[in-house]
Amino acid sequence: MYLSTLNLKDYRNYRQLECEFCPGINMITGANAQGKTNLIEGIYYLSIGKAYRLAKDEQLILWGAKSFQIKASAENRRGRTNIEIRYHQEEKPAKMASVGGLRLTKMEELSGALTSVLFSPDSMAIIKGSPQERRNFLDYDISQISFNYGRNIYKYKRLLAQRNALLKKLGPLPLRLEDKKEKLLIWDQQLVECGSHIIEKRLAVIEKLAPLARLAQRKLTAGKENIELNYVLCHKNNIDEGKDKDIAAFLMEAREDSIKEDLRCGSTQWGPHRDDLTVALDGVNLKQYGSQGQQRTGVLALKLAELEFFRGESGEYPLLLLDDVMSELDENRQLQLLNFINEKSIQCLITATEARNLNLREKRQIKRFLVDKGKIEEFR
Amino acid sequence: MTGLFHALVMQELMEQFGKLPGIGPKTAQRLAFFVLSLSKEEVKAFSQALVNAKETMTLCPVCFSLTDVTPCQVCRDETRDRQVICVVEETTDVFSIERARDYRGLYHVLHGSISPMEGRQPEDLKIKELLARFAGEEGSRINEVILATNPDVEGETTALYLARLLKPLGIKATRIAHGIPVGGNLEHADAATLAQALEGRRIID
Ligand SMILES: Nc1ncnc2c1ncn2[C@@H]1O[C@H](COP(=O)(O)OP(=O)(O)O)[C@@H](O)[C@H]1O
Ligand SMILES: [Mg+2]
Ligand SMILES: [Zn+2]
């Protein structure tokens, strides 16, 4: 799959952008704060239906304007698909999206229209950051291949917010614990059901990602290092303990165990919103004990695994967005990454502050762009 | 910032318009100035219409929809099927379903959905009143309740809650099923979609 054209209107610092990308490598250079990351963010928006940097939609509107628009054409084996997203801060609904001319009733239906993998300096957070970062890593990938997953995530968040509101209200009331539990039950059963779907899907995806990451890591380290991915349920140390049980039963138990604590602090202490993913090298946690270099290689391996994962799911490689990362990788890693995307004919958008010479083994189509204060220009 | 301030009376008017759902400060300002462009008679008729509506409309003591006659048009209509009650969140939903014309049963308006975030618990809705309708001779004729709450998380929760209350009473509870976009609103569903949704209802337990 590749992105052929992109159109931004009043998005971040772009008043009007029209751009045609090549299916090969697209080098985007420009000084700091000119809009390189904004461009990448706009493209990735089409993949996950929102801004990855947790920015609110209003913040994405060009200052002084009232709406933004992202339009793109994606090409895959079946042909060309037009994707469009419009956000208007004064209209209701504020956000509208269409794929292939069909208006979507839910943003989650965007799933799969343009699949992409993003690698930026922020990606280090997958290893170094909070559990939230690792859950996002999983969720952004899964929602691109599963419309249902995105819907479950949305529903789960809503159920959770409602349950937490009820917990806060019930907590201080002079009722018997049994009565409080009874009042929570209608939310809890739905939360357990929805939550177990989420966890089951995450487990299934990790099962596919893990061997791909392992393979990539071994390649990058000449067979020296083995990377392991493990899903950690917040209520048990390891998923293995819950293996013979089904997830819903496990969650119901977790609910039982923490109900008093939940009521005391007015928030839900169990469920997929508290789970984590551990990344280890030969049994040693990469977050705590990995060197800077090992962590970097680990993230690269995860990204390569993502590319293969998407191909396994959809039959095609996704688009690869490399925002400002080339300079962070040493020469050897850079070469390995470039050779990988070349071999597999993956479309790639690379941003950097300086134009660099790509030492490619084989010839590939390359297009070069210069970004300057929200304007983009192709140059040769 | 400009140094220009609105006259106090205009500020008050804008504040009133701003209370309306979906009206932001900008629109409130536009509406307030629009009112000034009307003739005095038109403005009087406008304000009188507001007061009249508020004074005339009351809750139907049977189904709790907003009505100008008691009981409401539906509840007093002898030709309606008294074996089925369609439970909705708001009176506006009654109108949406009536527009589809296929439904000939009765209604019950809950006045909201269960939503702790907005401070609404089951006891804040007309649920006791719904259960009371099953008592007596009239009540014993009811054999199906269609749960037509909105298909969002709160509406689904309310439907689930009601289905559980109704089960021990031996009343069949069905849920409208198809056509309405998930997270969508009954109010915005078109007549054909609603007719289809009522047709394809499923039993929940
Ligand atoms: N909503 C917005 N409207 C206009 N400009 C914005 C908006 N959001 C961010 N910017 C500007 O975009 C620039 C940052 O662009 P960015 O893409 O991060 O730069 P870089 O080229 O270094 O990646 C900053 O100058 C910032 O002020
Ligand atoms: Mg940047
Ligand atoms: Zn009535």
List domains and CATH numbers for chain A.
1-115+318-380 (3.40.50.300), 126-315 (1.20.1050.90)
Chain centroid, CA A267 distance in Å: 25
Helices (H), A221-346: 247-265, 286-289, 292-314, 331-343
Q: A312-334 pLDDT, tens per residue?
A: 999 999 999 999 998 888 888 88
Q: How many residues does chain A have?
A: 380
Which residues on adjacent β-strands are paired with residue A281? A227, A284
Task: Give how far B8 is from chain A: nearest CA, Å.
Answer: 26
Question: What string of H, E and C letters represents the secondary structure of A153-220?
Answer: HHHHHHHHHHHHHHHHHHCCCCCCHHHHHHHHHHHHHHHHHHHHHHHHHHHHHHHHHHHHHHHHHHHH
Between CA B52 and CA B55 the distance in angstroms is 5
Per the CB < 8 Å rule, is A186 touching B115?
no
Which residues on adjacent β-strands are paired with residue A114? none
Chain centroid, CA B160 distance in Å: 19
Please name which of A64, A51, A3 lies closest in space to residue A374, comparing C-alpha atoms: A64
Q: A161-204 pLDDT, tens per residue?
A: 999 999 999 999 999 999 999 999 999 999 999 999 999 999 99
B191 in any annotated domain = no
* Whether ipTM exceeds 0.85: no
Flag residues of chain A having pLDDT under 50.
Answer: none
Chain centroid, CA A120 distance in Å: 12
A319 exposure class (CB count in 10 Å sphere: 0-12, 13-18, 19+):
buried
User: Residue A368 belongs to what H/E stretch?
Assistant: strand A366-372
Q: At what angle do helices A177-220 and A292-314 cross, to 10 degrees?
A: 100
Per the CB < 8 Å rule, is A166 touching B116?
yes
Between CA A96 and CA A69 the distance in angstroms is 10
Q: Does B21 touch chain A (CB under 8 A)?
A: no
Q: How many residues does chain B have?
A: 205
By the 8 A CB rule, do B88 and B150 touch? no
Chain B neighbours among A 68-107 (CB < 8 Å)?
Answer: 90, 92, 105-106
Between CA A344 and CA B161 the distance in angstroms is 53
DSSP classification of residue A260: H
In the sheet that A319-323 helps form, which strands lie side by side, from edge to edge? A116-119, A319-323, A348-352, A25-29, A366-372, A375-379
Q: What is the pLDDT of residue A256?
A: 93
Residues of B in contact with A105 (CB under 8 A): 181-184
Q: B99-152 pLDDT, tens per residue?
A: 887 899 999 999 999 999 999 999 999 999 999 999 888 888 898 999 999 988
**DSSP-derived 3-state class of residue B4:** coil
B203 in any annotated domain = no
The whole domain housing B98 covers 61-175
Per the CB < 8 Å rule, is B184 touching A105?
yes
DSSP classification of residue A110: G
Residue with the nearest Cα to atom 4 of ligand 1?
A13
Between CA A110 and CA A85 the distance in angstroms is 10
Q: Which residue has the tokens 């997953």?
A: A149
Chain A neighbours among B 95-134 (CB < 8 Å)?
Answer: 114-117, 121
Q: What is the pLDDT of residue A355?
A: 74
Among A162, A169, A183, whose Cβ lies nearest the Cβ of B153? A162
Which tokens is A333 given? 């890693």
Q: What is the pLDDT of residue B1?
A: 44
Flag residues of chain B having pLDDT under 50.
Answer: 1, 178-179, 181-183
Tell me how many residue pairs between chain A and chain B have CB atoms under 8 A apart.
39
B101 in any annotated domain = yes
Count the domains in chain B: 1
Q: What is the pLDDT of residue B185?
A: 59
DSSP classification of residue A62: P
B68 in any annotated domain = yes
B137 in any annotated domain = yes
Between CA B63 and CA B87 the distance in angstroms is 9
By the 8 A CB rule, do A120 and A92 touch? no
Chain centroid, CA B199 distance in Å: 21
Q: What is the pLDDT of residue B183?
A: 47
B133 in any annotated domain = yes
By the 8 A CB rule, do A35 and A14 touch? yes
Chain centroid, CA B113 distance in Å: 10
**What CATH code is carried by the domain that includes residue B139?**
3.40.1360.10
Please name which of A214, A215, A196, A194 lies closest in space to residue A204, comparing C-alpha atoms: A196
Please name which of A205, A276, A194, A195 lies closest in space to residue A234, comparing C-alpha atoms: A276
By the 8 A CB rule, do B10 and B32 touch? yes
Average pLDDT over all residues of chain A = 92
Question: What ligand has the least distance to the C-alpha of A370?
Answer: 1
B10 in any annotated domain = no
B154 in any annotated domain = yes
Task: Give how far A169 is from chain B: nearest CA, Å.
Answer: 8
Phi, psi of A119 (to 5 degrees): -130, 115
Task: Give how far B196 is from chain A: nearest CA, Å.
Answer: 18
Per the CB < 8 Å rule, is B157 touching A90?
no
Which residues on adjacent β-strands are paired with residue A72? A6, A83
Between CA B139 and CA B109 the distance in angstroms is 17
